[in-house]
Chains A and B, each alone.
Chain A
Amino acid sequence: MSRAWWLACIVCASLLSVAQDQNPLAHDPNAAKAGEYEFRINCALCHGLGARGGGRGPDLTRAQKKHTHNDAEMFQVISNGIPGTAMPANGTNGQGVGMTDTEIWQIITYIRSQEVKAAASSSGDAAHGKELFFGDGNCSMCHMVNGKGRRLGPDLSGVGGSRTREALIDSIRNPSRRLAWGLTEATKEFPQEYETVTAVTADGEEIKGIAMNEDNFTVQMMDQGEHIHLLEKDKLKSFHKSRESMMPKYDADVLSDKEVDDIVAFLAGLGAK
């Protein structure tokens, strides 16, 4: 290969990397509008309409993001996905060839236009929130954070990165409204929503816990003592499944708004890098 050819290659490569470092459409309002529609079609299923988080994907209106620090990194994340999470690479959802580079830049322009600069979630006292979580709040009686706590409820180590502040508050105040939709889908082939199961065995024993999985004939559940029960439905005296969460409803007389804010600040702090 000739020297000139090598040189040309190097020039091309550096041009390409320049092109990917900067958003050519940054701050362009038309691009933001086009990006909004692209976002709805390609991203909103997980990240929600308006990019404020949809249960499965994080709130993208936060200026500080867990996996990206600038437009170039965001371009990479949209193009290639994030290993170990539910974020797929562009074009791999089985729907055609995916977005063009221009469309990805439009989406990034849109996301930037939606970002809330003021850090609204920092009002709480994360250190106090941590104390409450592992102490009087009794959260760790059922939830684990970074290996500490128990297993009946979903592991919350990453929840700060995938749920909005509003969604976290809502989950504490009204735990039955959304259950654990989307939290486990990155690692499991089937959804687990932590529905409440009450089974009465043939000899009259009542087992109450959360459904780990279920089909028409069997249920795999965990009781409050973290014992796993593998049951055949037709051998049970009764079987009842409910979307009323086992998590108690934390009303204002149990946790004040300030205390909830503190817990949310603790959880949100875990999600940020």
Chain B
Amino acid sequence: MNLGAKHFHHEDREEIPRKTNPCSTRGLKARNSRTSYAALKGPLFHKSVRAIALLAVFLVTLAPLYGQVTFDRLVNSSKEPQNWLMYSGDYSGKRYSSLDQINTSNAKTVVAKWVYQTGATGKFETTPLVADGILYATAPDNRAFALDARSGRPIWMYQRQVPSDIRPCCGRVNRGMAILGDKVFFGTLDAHVIALDAKTGAVRWDVEAADYRTGHSFTVAPVAVKNLIIIGVSGGEYGIRGFIDAYDAETGQHKWRFYTVPGPGEPGHETWEGDSWRVGGAPAWNTGTYDPATNQIFWPTGNPAPSNRGEGRSGDNLYSNSLLALNADTGKLNWYFQFTKHDEHDWDATQVPILIEKDGKKLIAQADRNGYFYVIDRTNGKLISATPYGKTTWSDSKDAEGRPVANKQASPTLEGHTVCPGALGTTNYMPPTFDPQTGLFYVTARDQCDVFSTAPQPYEAGHAFYGSAYFPSEEAKPYLGFLKAIDPTTGEIKQKFQHTSPTWSGVLSTAGGLVFSGDAEGNFIAFDAASLKPLWHFQMGGAVYAGPMAFSVGGQEYVAIAAGSAIYAFGLP
């Protein structure tokens, strides 16, 4: 669960006024005119009318293809740094942009270029996508929209009515979309997967994946792989049985489901006591990564349910708090790695698992909510190293594989006692970045301890199922927030910046030698990637709960982030 520092609630059922004609082809026209201009600059321009007519035919034929985001483009997204085609920027999850127009020498001159107000309230967690000059994003309460990425002007808007009795544990949030072909895809709070026409926002298909009344919801940005849309469910606080689903991008047809809690007869089922697997949780609410070379997706899972009480579900509780390597075509499990066995602290492992290469080795780096930074061999799921990157008290030893083992004092008690990190974790869902230029992994970190106490609770369908209560520890104040730069080779913290208070912002690195992140007080900050010294900041007037991204239009680099209830885009004057 991604319980924020503050809970938000809002039921906004106002009609969204359409600010643009829904039939507008503005985006298409802009792109076509750009295409024509590029082509017309060639010698054909001076040829006969017939040649121009031929060209027109050619362009008309080409038009439907241009703007289509093919799987090939997604695999090779690094070749088009002007676009940001998925949640973490590329399949490896690095959240790195090779744009360098904004860099360490001019960062102090950066200005706000536009602001788009969504009218939504609550935590704004989305990472926008940009494809060919159009920005696509989601917002709280099942909103989705497309903007002119250069001006911030809306092209279309969509909102699916939110039922009044939805059950999102931690706010009516959404973290983003996937794009493939001529459609964008997102999940809703009432557990639907929806494909919208990328040009108009019209619903192309709409599938109910699960019943929201039993606590299922979607908050995650899906991933598009080949012809599939892959998405993981939320609801670990409601005793759901977690799953990762794949849908045919063209039709919405359900292609496969991987249950993150194995059923009877399946390997791992024996790690659950009695019938506890039926309500075992293990949601999959943060976006995974993908390795095209092996056609594997790497998807992290969340807490077992009830989230803070282990009694009644003795065992490791697979595959809660794990990283799953699945065959993208079939959803078949290749390997798993469990970060926290038999979790009693709500330490979802739902952090973006970043694919990195080091000395020819194919690795995954994940800064886990339990306070350890893990490096895993991604060919087999074997642990390479686990190093604390924040304040932890729950483990004093490691097992034979090098995995931290919980100590006797870690379990919550009836009276309650203090464990670090607290339930919010050393980090949470906020996406980290890996900067290939510095070779460092940058992550938002929090030092906070909580008092965990148990509170036995029967399962009731659709009701919160925590089995405990936890409270920020007054003794452990103040809670500290950091941006930390970790060397994945050693686990060593190379640099850190201490915020005024813990933040929920993700991190972006760029080829300009910069790292961007936000703070809880509403600042967006450009740091020198080497020193983590702030070079520039802008007060956006609303706390940051999202990850930044970068794109370029018309030769101008932009860095964008959601904050408060708006999306902000920044660039050089």
Contact = CB atoms under 8 A, between A and B. Distances in A.
B453 interface: yes
A97 B522 contact: no
A45 B167 CA distance: 20
A93 interface: yes
A102 to B, nearest CB: 11
Interface string A28-47: 00000000111011001100
A240 B405 CA distance: 39
A94 B500 CA distance: 26
Interface in B456-498: 456-457, 462-464, 466, 468-469, 471, 474, 477-478
B521 interface: yes
Contacts of B457: 37-38, 41
B167 A97 contact: yes
Interface residue SS majority, chain A:
loop
Contacts of A36: 455
Contacts of B534: 216-217
A216 B523 CA distance: 8
B455 A40 contact: yes
A40 B525 contact: no
B169 A96 contact: yes
Nearest to A92: B9
Contacts of B463: 96-97
What band does the interface of chain B fall in when counting residues whose beta carbon is under 8 Å from A?
Answer: 35 or more
Interface residue SS majority, chain B:
loop
A178 interface: yes
A251 interface: no
Given A44-B471, A217-B537, A94 B9 contact: yes
A216 B500 CA distance: 5
B165 A97 contact: yes
B316 interface: no
A178 B469 contact: no
B153 interface: no
A188 B462 CA distance: 32
Contacts of B451: 49
B456 A37 contact: yes
Interface string A79-106: 0000000000000111111000000000
A41 B525 contact: no
A49 B469 CA distance: 9
Nearest to A44: B469
**Interface-centre pick from B168, B416, B462, B464 (highest chain A CB count, 10 A):** B464
A190 B455 CA distance: 30
Contacts of A40: 453, 455, 468-469
Interface string A187-228: 000100000000000000000000000111100000000000
A55 interface: yes
Interface string A114-129: 0000000000000000
A69 interface: no
A91 B146 CA distance: 33
A217 B165 CA distance: 41
B241 interface: no
B499 A216 contact: yes
Contacts of B66: none
A94 B8 contact: yes
Contacts of A94: 7-9, 122, 168-172
A180 B471 CA distance: 17
Nearest to B10: A94
B464 A95 contact: yes
A96 B521 contact: no
Contacts of A95: 7, 169-170, 237, 464
A94 B238 CA distance: 13
Interface in A243-271: 243
Given A55-B474, A215-B522, A96 B167 contact: yes
Contacts of B168: 94, 96
Interface residues of A, number: 24
B455 A41 contact: yes
B540 to A, nearest CB: 11
Contacts of A190: 521
A147 B167 CA distance: 43
A215 B521 contact: yes
B447 interface: no
A39 B455 CA distance: 9
Contacts of A41: 455, 457, 464, 466, 468-469
B466 A243 contact: no
Interface in B505-528: 519, 521-523, 525
B245 to A, nearest CB: 22
B89 interface: no
Contacts of B122: 94
A243 B519 CA distance: 21
A142 to B, nearest CB: 22
B407 interface: no
A181 B475 CA distance: 12
A153 interface: no
A54 B9 contact: no
B215 interface: yes
A40 B467 CA distance: 10
B518 to A, nearest CB: 10
A127 B521 CA distance: 43
Contacts of B464: 41, 95-96
Nearest to B503: A216
A41 B415 CA distance: 14
B539 interface: yes
A164 B115 CA distance: 46
B416 A49 contact: yes
A40 B416 CA distance: 11
A41 B452 CA distance: 11
**Interface-centre pick from A94, A97, A217 (highest chain B CB count, 10 A):** A94
Contacts of B521: 190, 214-216
A92 B469 CA distance: 18
A173 to B, nearest CB: 16
A271 to B, nearest CB: 21
A238 to B, nearest CB: 16
A190 B501 CA distance: 11
Contacts of A55: 474
Nearest to A97: B165
Interface string A44-78: 11000100001100000000000000000000000
Contacts of A243: 477-478
18 contacts: A44-B469, A49-B415, A54-B471, A94-B8, A94-B168, A94-B171, A95-B464, A96-B168, A96-B463, A97-B167, A178-B474, A214-B521, A215-B539, A216-B500, A216-B521, A216-B537, A217-B539, A243-B478
The 4 closest A-B pairs by CB, nearest first: A215-B521, A40-B469, A40-B455, A37-B455
Given A44-B469, A94-B8, 20 more contacts: A37-B457, A38-B455, A45-B469, A49-B451, A49-B453, A49-B471, A55-B474, A94-B9, A94-B168, A95-B170, A95-B237, A97-B463, A178-B474, A214-B521, A215-B519, A216-B521, A216-B525, A216-B534, A217-B537, A243-B477
Interface of A: 36-38, 40-41, 44-45, 49, 54-55, 92-97, 178, 181, 190, 214-217, 243
